[in-house]
Amino acid sequence: MDARWPPSSRPLLGVCTLVCLATAAFLGHILLRDSLVAPQEQRRFSQGPEQLYHAHQQGARNPGPQPSPGHPGRTRAAPTQCDVPPNSRFDCAPDKAITQQQCEARGCCYRPATPWPQLPRMGQPWCFFPPSYPSYKLENLTTTETGYTAALTRSTPTFFPKDILALRLDVLLETESRLHFTIKDPTNRRYEVPLETPRSHGRALATLYSVEFQEEPFGVVVRRKLDGRVLLNTTVAPLFFADQFLQLSTSLPSQYITGLAEHLGSLMLSTNWTRVTLWNRDIAPSPNVNLYGSHPFYLALEDGGSAHGVFLLNSNAMDVVLQPSPALSWRSTGGILDVYVFLGPEPKSVVQQYLEVVGSPFMPPYWGLGFHLCRWGYSSTAITRQVVENMTRAHFPLDTQWNDLDYMDARRDFTFNKDGFRDFPAMVQELHRGGRRYVMIVDPAISSSSPPGSYRPYDEGLRRKVFITNETGQPLIGKVWPGFTVFPDFTSPAALDWWQDMVSEFHAQVPFDGMWIDMNEPSNFVRGSVYGCPDNDLENPPYVPGVVGGTLRAATICASSRQLLSTHYNLHNLYGLTEAIASHRALVKARGTRPFVISRSTFAGHGQYAGHWTGDVWSSWEQLSYSVPEILLFNLLGVPLVGADVCGFLGNTSEELCVRWTQLGAFYPFMRNHNDLNSLPQEPYRFSATAQEAMRKALALRYSLLPHLYTLFHRAHAGGETVARPLFLEFPEDPHTWTMDRQLLWGEALLITPVLEAGKVEVTGYFPAGTWYDLQTVPVGAFGSLPPPPPAPLMSTIHSKGQWVTLPAPLDTINVHLRAGHIIPLQGPGLTTTESRKQPMALVAALGTNGEARGELFWDDGESLGVLERGAYTEVVFLARNDTIMNELVRVTSEGAGLQLRKVTVLGVAAGPRQVLCNGVPVAFTYNPDTKTLDIPVSLTMGEQFLISWS
> Which residues carry out catalysis?
518, 521
Distance CA 867, CA 873 (A): 6
What is the 3-state secondary structure of 283-350? CCCCCCCCCCEEEEEEEEECCCCCEEEEEECCCCCEEEEEECCCEEEEEECCCCEEEEEECCCCHHHH
* Residues paired with residue 803 on neighbouring β-strands, in sequence order: 767
Distance CA 400, CA 432 (A): 10
Chain-centre distance for alpha carbon 939 = 41
- CB of 176 within 8 A of CB of 204? yes
Distance CA 334, CA 698 (A): 48
Distance CA 115, CA 113 (A): 6
Burial 703-721 (b: 16+ CB within 10 A, else e): bbbbbbbbbbbbbbbeebb
Report which of 634, 615, 633, 623 is spatially closest to residue 664, judged by C-alpha positions. Answer: 623
Give the number of other Cβ atoms within 10 Å of residue 641's Cβ.
Answer: 26
Chain-centre distance for alpha carbon 700 = 27
How would you class 881 by CB atoms within 10 Å of its CB: exposed for 0-12, middle for 13-18, buried for 19 or more?
middle
Within 13 Å and on the Cβ side, how many CA atoms surround 946? 21
Ramachandran angles phi, psi of 896, nearest 5°:
105, -20
3-state secondary structure of 104: helix
Taken as a whole, the chain contains a residue count of: 951
What is the 3-state secondary structure of 890-919? EECCHHHHCCEEEEEEEECCCCCCCCEEEC
Residue 15 DSSP label: H
Distance CA 874, CA 892 (A): 4
DSSP letter string over 590-619? HHSS---EEESSEETTGGGT-EEE--S-BS
Chain-centre distance for alpha carbon 306 = 20
What is the 3-state secondary structure of 411-428? CECCCCCCCCCCCHHHHH
Report which of 540, 547, 543 is spatially closest to residue 159, judged by C-alpha positions. Answer: 543
Burial 391-400 (b: 16+ CB within 10 A, else e): bbebbbbbbb
Report which of 581, 587, 434, 579 is spatially closest to residue 511, judged by C-alpha positions. Answer: 587
Give the number of other Cβ atoms within 10 Å of residue 321's Cβ.
Answer: 23
- CB of 844 within 8 A of CB of 907? yes
3-state secondary structure of 107: coil
Distance CA 76, CA 295 (A): 38
Give the number of other Cβ atoms within 10 Å of residue 430's Cβ.
Answer: 15
Within 13 Å and on the Cβ side, how many CA atoms surround 111? 19
Q: Which runs of consecutive H residues, i.e. helices, occur in 345-423?
A: 347-358, 381-393
- CB of 638 within 8 A of CB of 605? yes
Distance CA 840, CA 785 (A): 10
